[in-house]
């Protein structure tokens, strides 16, 4: 099956890929199982590194202040979890 023809998880279809608000990020990997490193920003514009796997991850529990954004910083193949301040 061509990777582009694979169905995406139900929540990802509804919410899209990337930062979806509410401190959540959806990594759409098209079934590859890849992990990616994110930059996560809080309300004071502090930036933190967080690695996520496929699906939706709640970034908020480890970030002290409210998360207002997250984006892929180019890193791949990391172990999922919080990596600390950028």
Residue 64 banded pLDDT, cuts 50, 70, 90 = confident
Say yes or no to pLDDT of 83 above 80: yes
- % pLDDT > 70, the chain: 83
Say yes or no to pLDDT of 8 above 70: no
Say yes or no to pLDDT of 24 above 90: yes
Question: Residue 75 burial by CB count (10 A; 0-12/13-18/19+): exposed, middle or buried?
Answer: middle
Mean pLDDT across 53-70: 94
How far apart CA 42 and CA 48 sit, in angstroms, is 8
What pLDDT is recorded for position 15?
55
């Amino acid at each position: 099956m061509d990777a582009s023809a694979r169905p995406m998880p139900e929540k990802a279809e509804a919410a899209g890929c990337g930062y979806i608000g509410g401190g959540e990020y959806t990594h759409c990997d098209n079934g590859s199982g890849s992990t990616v490193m994110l930059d996560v920003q809080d309300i004071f514009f502090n930036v933190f590194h967080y690695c996520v796997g496929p699906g939706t991850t709640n970034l908020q529990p480890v970030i002290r202040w409210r998360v207002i954004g997250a984006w892929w910083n180019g890193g791949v193949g990391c172990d999922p979890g919080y990596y600390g301040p950028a």
